[in-house]
A = this chain, B = another copy of it.
Amino acid sequence: MSLTVDLVVLTVRDDRLHVLLIERGKEPFRGKTALPGGFVRSREDSDAAALRELAEETGLDGRTLHLEQLRSYTRPDRDPRGRVVSVAYLALAPDLPLPVAGTDARRARWTPVADLGPGDLAFDHARILADGLERARAKLEYTTLATAFCPPTFTITELRRVYEVVWGVSLDARNFHRKVVNADDFLVATGTRRVPDVGRPAALYRAGGATVLYPPMLRAAAQHPVART
């Protein structure tokens, strides 16, 4: 039996939610699009393997990203090579340029989630991606995780775009502003401003110490997806 990690790496770019995908260089599914990932080595745990694969396949440094275990996929027939259990990870990144270094990262690219069709991904990666998306959407409600999509300092409008893009809704800018500024230790004002091409400059914030968002930013009742067990 083998153990792999698969990575759902999400970012917001050009007001669309993107996932990092690679083109597979080996069989099975050679040439097909898949989530980045690979085998866990004998003396590392899956967390270490996720960090290593993220660096090798995408050039990203997981220590600077939000990276959490998603869940495991264990169906005996999920990999044609035989029994391969995969531990999936969810990573959230700001809109970083992909280093096209001398690694396998040259095969990695950001793809808009909405552009993916049903059979576009290898293995059971469509399911893993769906689970990752739902986890990310749910955690925006009750945690301060939205800041993981933002650069070290960001404006409230940028933060609002994260919510809008990840949830696929539009939010009232004025109510959103009031809400996030009032939430306990969600944002810390830096005292600096960003001067845009046009319009009034926006105050810059950085993420506060809170991990739990209180009060939560609830999606409207009607927008709640049906929970999967």
Taking Cβ atoms with an 8 Å cutoff, the residues of A that contact B are: 1-3, 40, 42-47, 66-69, 71-72, 74-76, 83, 85, 87, 141-143, 184, 211-212, 214-216, 218, 221, 224, 226-227, 229
What residues of B have a CB within 8 angstroms of the CB of A74 in the complex?
A: 3, 40, 45-47, 87
- A44's partner among B3, B44, B76, B141 (CB-CB below 8 A) is B76
Known: A3-B85, A71-B69. A211 touches B226 (CB 8 A): yes
Closest B residue by C-beta to A228: B211
Pull 16 A–B residue pairs with CB atoms less than 8 Å apart, ordered by A. A1-B2, A1-B3, A3-B74, A45-B74, A45-B75, A46-B72, A66-B229, A69-B72, A72-B72, A141-B142, A143-B227, A184-B221, A212-B227, A214-B224, A216-B216, A216-B218
Q: How far is the CA of A221 from the CA of B42 in the complex (A)?
A: 43
What residues of B have a CB within 8 angstroms of the CB of A224 in the complex?
A: 212, 214
